[in-house]
């Protein structure tokens, strides 16, 4: 199992430092850190293409706090494609302080404890080589990679398996004032 870790130097470095610290605590991990220069939205999809389908992969984004429990759970899981739950950062999908997790069923975000999903964010996922038979569309940015590929995998191989407990997501994105006032725009 190969763990791919994309990172972008100089961008939200404190988040990336937390993630690297968590990665460094893992035991018996074959890890490749992939440099994705800032402003090059195709850097990560281009880099992952070289590993796609060649072997079983775990992908851990630059701002996810992976744990040994989460890593071992992915490695030991019988499912061919699964994700560890984490809260997403996009403020426009969260209202009334309700947590929004990294996966969807019927175009709705999953609730805590949900075991299967139609699509997932690629923050922390496992992909067996056989499910990566679908090609990565050319010129696909990182922000679209997970949605396009996870739906395609689900259609061909069935629902994604979701692992709990959730892991930390260190993304500290901007949260507009209206989010905390309960309005939805």
For the chain, domains (ranges, CATH) are 2-87+110-173 (3.90.550.10)
Residue 31, strand partner residues: 3
pLDDT in tens, 32-62: 998 887 767 677 777 788 898 899 999 998 8
- Which is more confident, 173 or 47? 47
Q: What is the pLDDT of residues 103-151, one digit of tens each?
A: 989 988 899 999 999 999 999 999 999 998 887 777 777 777 888 889 8
Query: How high is the pLDDT of residue 185?
Result: 31
Looking at residue 176, what is its pLDDT?
41
Maximum C-alpha span of the chain? 48
Least confident among 9-13, 96-100, 174-178:
174-178
List, in order, residues 6 or more apart from 95 with CB less than 8 Å away. Answer: 179, 182, 183, 184
Mean pLDDT for the chain overall:
84
Of 12, 16, 26, the closest CA to residue 3 belongs to 26
The residue with greater pLDDT, 10 or 70, is 70
pLDDT above 50 (res 170): yes
Percent of the chain with pLDDT over 70: 85
End-to-end alpha carbon distance in the chain: 42
| Mean pLDDT lowest among 59-68, 92-101, 151-160 | 92-101
Q: Per-residue confidence at 95, pLDDT binned at 50, 70, 90?
A: low
Confidence (pTM):
0.86
Least confident piece of the model among 17-26, 34-43, 153-162: 34-43
pLDDT given for residue 93 in this prediction: 54
pLDDT of residue 127: 96
Is there a cis peptide before residue 165, judged by omega within 30 degrees of 0?
Answer: yes
């Amino acid at each position: 199992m190969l763990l791919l870790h994309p990172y972008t130097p100089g961008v939200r470095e404190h988040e990336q430092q937390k993630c690297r610290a968590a990665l460094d605590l893992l035991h018996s991990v074959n890890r490749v850190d992939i440099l994705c220069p800032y402003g090059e939205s195709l850097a990560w999809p281009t880099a992952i293409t070289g590993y796609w389908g060649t072997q079983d992969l775990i992908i851990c984004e630059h701002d996810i706090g992976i744990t040994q429990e989460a890593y071992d759970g992915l490695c030991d899981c019988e499912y061919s494609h699964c994700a560890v739950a984490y809260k997403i950062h996009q403020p426009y999908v969260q209202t009334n302080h309700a947590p929004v997790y990294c996966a969807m069923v019927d175009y709705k975000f999953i609730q805590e404890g949900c075991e299967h999903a139609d699509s997932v964010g690629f923050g922390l996922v496992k992909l067996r080589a056989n499910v990566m038979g679908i090609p990565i569309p050319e010129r696909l940015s990182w922000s679209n990679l997970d949605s396009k590929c996870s739906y395609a995998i689900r259609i061909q191989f069935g629902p994604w398996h979701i692992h709990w407990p959730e892991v930390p997501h260190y993304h500290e994105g901007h949260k507009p004032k209206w989010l905390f006032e309960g309005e939805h725009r």
